[in-house]
Amino acid sequence: MKLWEIAHSRTGDKGNISNISLIVYDIANYELIKEKVTPEAVKEWFKDIVKGEVKRYELPQLGALNFVMYDALGGGVTRSLALDKHGKSLSSYLLDIDI
């Protein structure tokens, strides 16, 4: 099952840092994503993009995890050579993870 089946996501950026939320539709699935979608798993999934650390923050009452990925945007929004300089589309890529 892909994360997309049970959760949604939005990406934001600050400088060279990408911030991705992961929110379950049904709160009953929160423990599942908490167990499966570890900072290590996210770092591995984005290894060709994210060069720095991945931190995870938990918001259990909202069924949500917040991932902060450092050194993730090709040097930062202004100077990145990527087509999607803000990394806005990374949220959809996170939802492609199989759990």
Exposed / middle / buried, residue 34 (Cβ in 10 Å: 0-12, 13-18, 19+) = middle
| Shortest distance in whole angstroms from residue 40 CB to another protein | 16
Give me the DSSP letters along 67-89. Answer: EEESS-STT-TTT--SSSTT-TT
Between 21 and 42, CB nearer to another protein:
21
Dist. CA 49–CA 34, nearest whole Å: 23
Residues at the interface with another protein (CB under 8 A): 4, 8-10, 12-17, 19, 21, 23, 25, 47-49, 55, 57, 59, 61-62, 64, 66, 68, 74-79, 81-84, 89, 93
Between 10 and 36, CB nearer to another protein:
10
| Shortest distance in whole angstroms from residue 36 CB to another protein | 18
Between 36 and 82, CB nearer to another protein:
82
Distances (CA, A) of 75 to 15, 37, 46: 8, 26, 16
